[in-house]
């Protein structure tokens, strides 16, 4: 047995356990583990993250379904926007951002504002909120489309970006978590299918690491289920600040790695 498989399962369990109560699958924190510890090549790391979402997120969805919190108008708005977005993001990732250095810059650009938002905006939000207007629903749909595109590039399904925005807008974690996890699950399926199609025309490592992804996802399934069960017992503010701090540290690491990598690349002179 490859040592990366059980190690990945443990990492998937711990990450999903921590992030599921906030409506995040944990793929955003799994990325550096894949690159640095499990040695998954880029861009295969992106669809492997999506595979993790597909396998692990149903654990949390199962728990939310048993609590009758899975379906609702917010879920429909998010899914309608993120599904086409993830297709566009996957295409951009393969066509324009296949290089590891460019990918690290994108990773840092996504994680830094996300982390600051979580870290600085982690105040407790009201549990009751008026029904959103038509304009608000339209804004949520546009946001979901943009996040779906970024999620397709980054391989995170979009929940880690949608959740803090919706929480800051006045939605509670009790309402947001089932909706963002459902959107993450469905967009990840579409994202994997898109990467498979792109592999037929581009070749190379744009398909997920199937066996490793399945192991990571299996650990994440258990962690996601337990995290959803514990959601009501975890303070929202504490969880946001923890996730924000981790995201900021990861963003700083990838920014440094990308700058270092760019300095080491030799300059090539071409003749015309």
Q: What is the mean pLDDT of residues 123-149?
A: 73
pLDDT confidence of residue 267: 42
Residue 151: is its pLDDT beyond 90?
Answer: no
Please give the structure tokens belonging to residue 222: 């258990």
Does residue 193 lie within any of the structural domains?
yes
3-state class (DSSP) for residue 44: coil
CB 22 within 8 A of CB 159: no
Nearest C-alpha neighbor of 231 from the set 170, 179, 173: 173
- Across 1-5, 33-37, 219-223, 234-238, which has the greatest mean pLDDT? 219-223
pLDDT tens for 5-20 read: 899 899 999 999 988 8
What residues make up the domain containing 23?
4-262
Q: What percent of the chain has pLDDT over 90?
A: 15
Q: What is the pTM of this model?
A: 0.76
**Cis peptide, bond prior to residue 50, ω within 30 of zero:** no
Give the length of the chain.
272
Residue 112: is its pLDDT beyond 90?
Answer: no
Q: 3: buried, middle or exposed (CB in 10 Å: 19+, 13-18, 0-12)?
A: exposed
Tracing tokens 């295969």 back to the chain, one arrives at 44
3-state class (DSSP) for residue 235: coil
pLDDT confidence of residue 24: 83
Does residue 269 lie within any of the structural domains?
no
Does residue 143 lie within any of the structural domains?
yes
Does residue 181 lie within any of the structural domains?
yes
pLDDT confidence of residue 63: 94
3-state class (DSSP) for residue 38: coil
pLDDT confidence of residue 270: 42
The C-alpha atoms of residue 40 and residue 126 are separated, in whole angstroms, by 41
Does residue 131 lie within any of the structural domains?
yes
pLDDT confidence of residue 204: 59
Nearest C-alpha neighbor of 158 from the set 102, 83, 105, 210: 83
Number of domains in the chain: 1
Average model confidence (pLDDT) for the chain?
A: 78
Does residue 184 lie within any of the structural domains?
yes
Q: What is the mean pLDDT of residues 110-126?
A: 70
Does residue 270 lie within any of the structural domains?
no
The C-alpha atoms of residue 73 and residue 123 are separated, in whole angstroms, by 25
Residue 55: is its pLDDT beyond 90?
Answer: yes
- Angle 97-98-101 (CA atoms, 0-180°, nearest 5)? 75
Residue 266: is its pLDDT beyond 80?
Answer: no
Does residue 205 lie within any of the structural domains?
yes
- Across 86-95, 208-217, 253-262, which has the greatest mean pLDDT? 208-217
Q: What is the DSSP letter of 268?
A: -
pLDDT confidence of residue 102: 66
The C-alpha atoms of residue 3 and residue 58 are separated, in whole angstroms, by 25
Q: What is the DSSP letter of 231?
A: G
């Amino acid at each position: 047995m490859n040592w990366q498989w059980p190690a990945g399962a443990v990492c998937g369990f711990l990450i999903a356990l921590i992030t599921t109560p906030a409506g995040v699958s944990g793929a955003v924190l799994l990325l550096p583990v894949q690159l640095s510890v499990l040695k998954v090549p880029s861009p295969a790391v992106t669809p492997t993250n999506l595979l993790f979402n597909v396998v692990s997120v149903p654990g949390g969805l199962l728990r939310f379904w048993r609590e009758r919190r899975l379906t609702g108008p917010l879920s429909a708005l998010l899914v309608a926007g993120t599904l086409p977005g993830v297709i566009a993001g996957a295409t951009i990732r393969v066509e324009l951002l296949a290089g590891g250095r460019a990918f690290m810059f994108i990773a840092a650009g996504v994680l830094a504002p996300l982390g600051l938002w979580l870290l600085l905006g982690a105040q407790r939000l009201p549990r009751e909120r008026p029904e959103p207007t038509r304009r608000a629903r339209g804004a949520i749909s546009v946001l979901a489309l943009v996040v779906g595109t970024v999620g397709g590039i980054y391989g995170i399904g979009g929940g880690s970006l949608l959740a803090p925005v919706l929480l800051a807008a006045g939605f509670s974690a009790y309402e947001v978590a089932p909706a963002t996890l459902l959107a993450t699950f469905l967009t990840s399926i579409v994202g994997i299918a898109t990467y498979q199609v792109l592999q037929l025309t581009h070749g190379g490592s744009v398909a997920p690491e199937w066996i490793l992804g399945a192991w990571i996802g299996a650990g994440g399934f258990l962690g996601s289920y337990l995290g959803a069960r514990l959601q009501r017992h975890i303070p929202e503010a504490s969880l946001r600040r923890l996730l924000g701090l981790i995201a900021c540290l990861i963003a700083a690491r990838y920014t440094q790695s990308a700058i270092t990598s760019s300095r080491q690349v030799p300059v090539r002179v071409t003749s015309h």
